[in-house]
Amino acid sequence: MITGGARGLGNEFCRAFVRSGCTQLAILDLKEEEAKDAADELVATACLNSDLAPTDFNIIGLGCDVSSERSVQKAFAETMDAFGRVDSVVASAGIVENYSAFDYPFDRIKRLYDINVHGAFFTAREAARNMIPQGGGSIVLVSSMSANIINIPQPQTPYNASKAAVKHMAASLAVEWAKKGVRVNTLCPGYMLTKLTKTILSHDQELKKTWESLTPMGRMGEPEDLAGAIVFLSSDASRFMTGSEIRVDGGYCII
């Protein structure tokens, strides 16, 4: 299961799973129609230039507002009805906004925390509730390099704090559930060239140059650069890892 899977990094995670052999997947996003469209497109892409047929896949799209505990519970119930179990969950749904601290409207701050922090917690908790009876599973909370550093030049204090909360949440839950067979790890991306980021930077090339100059590798990441890390953390390849963080940031956090 992947939340926020209809677009952006969440959708790239879906593609990474399918490319690695996953044939059963639940894609969650705020708008059910977009989640279902993403599921259909993923199956069609997987069948191109291959011997696979659409009937080889069971990929579903579900509407889910991660800021609502009831919505998350409903999505998990539908997933369990469809598959009977859930082995790996990626909490990828999140938002970012840039306001100075003095100008940040409270309703926007609340919305950001409801999605980024509460949404990650609701997702992880429901995942564990379903994983523990089956013997365990893997949960990956998508944080950010912003959990470790302060981004410049854009002001985004609530976002940075929300991602730091997600990182520490994962570590805390990892300890709480370690002996129950549920692993909880964190993936922390750096600056990634998603479609949304490309659109924003097309109007601000100087910001793009600044971000690249601050990254030791001298470039922003491609969404595909996260594929190996997300599959590793979600699979048994990382079976002795819990409470860990993988940063994929081109070296941004080391200077």
**DSSP for residue 222:** P
Q: Which of 143, 144, 146, 162 is catalytic?
A: 144
Q: Which of 88, 146, 163, 238 is catalytic?
A: 163
Q: How far apart are CA 137 and CA 148, in angstroms?
A: 27
> Residue holding tokens 């306001």?
99
User: Can you tell me the distance from the alpha carbon of 201 to that of 59, in angstroms, rounded to the nearest whole number?
Assistant: 33
In 10 A of CB 227, how many CB atoms?
Answer: 18
Amino acid letter for position 108: R
Whether 191 is a known active-site residue: answer no
Strands 182-189 and 245-248: what pairing?
Answer: parallel
Query: Could you give the CA distance from residue 103 to residue 192 in angstroms, rounded to a whole number?
Result: 26
Active-site residue flag, 163: yes
Q: Check whether the bond before 153 is cis (ω within 30° of 0).
A: yes
Count the neighbouring beta carbons within 10 Å of the beta carbon of residue 46.
20
Given the residues 138, 143, 159, 208, the one annotated as active site: 159
Is 202 among the catalytic positions? no
Q: Which are the catalytic amino acids?
A: 144, 159, 163
